[in-house]
Amino acid sequence: MSVEGKTVMITGASRGIGAATARIFAQAGAKVVLLARSADQIEALAAELGDSALAIACDVSDWQAMQAAVAETCVKMGGLDILINNAGVIEPIADLSESDPEAWGRAIDINLKGVYYGMRSAMPVMEAAGGGTIITISSGAAHHALEGWSHYCTSKAGAAMLTEAANLEGAEKGLRVMGLSPGTVATDMQHRIKDSGINPVSELDWSEHIPPEWPARALLWMCGPEADGWLGQEISLRDPQIRKEAGLK
């Protein structure tokens, strides 16, 4: 499968993995739809990418906003072929016993409910068109608890189960659903993790983080038939064989 002429929607597209993914897919000939709360940043990125890019200011934790974004995409781009659920937050890093319940819930709204809202909005459109690809950015935190990250681990674990459920229900309708666990990536999020000084991840040297272009290129590879063996599963970029197959060195 080539992404030439395909429409890909990327949440959390203003920076980090999301912005790198937008550039990689645009270079491959895809039409890219950039979603983020920061309108100025995604509009600047859309201008950089040219006429094949569309910026839509959207809070993924708002169901109606997510529905509207998918509807606008279908009108302006002619459909939706690929959804990359990338938006996520690490804040607030805090011990569970001292965490702010409102802020904890906000992380769930973005990291978990935002993934559900994306799937719920995109799946009917893709099913009606006969198929589509949905990839959710996961994390090792989905499977291993870490101090100070109860909100993040819980939300990522839920998103991983959503990925399995979407595959179970959507595979016979032409949907390709997978997760990508990139490992630690050199983005702004890692600066906040470093500043927290909580758990072993904050102690990693910056040189140990992979560049955001790596998961972006892996996501492009996952949209092709070479990745069909992992449908319904979570691909880890920590796996040297996966890096080789995705063309990463």
116: annotated active-site residue: no
Beta bridge partners of 35: 11, 56
- Residue 56 CA to residue 62 CA, distance in Å, equals 13
- Residue 70 CA to residue 6 CA, distance in Å, equals 15
Say if CB 45 and CB 53 are below 8 A apart.
yes
The tokens for 75 are 């009108």
Catalytic residue of the set 104, 116, 149, 152: 152
Torsion of the alpha carbons at 26, 27, 29 and 32, rounded to the nearest 10: 0
Say if CB 39 and CB 65 are below 8 A apart.
no
Positions marked active-site:
152
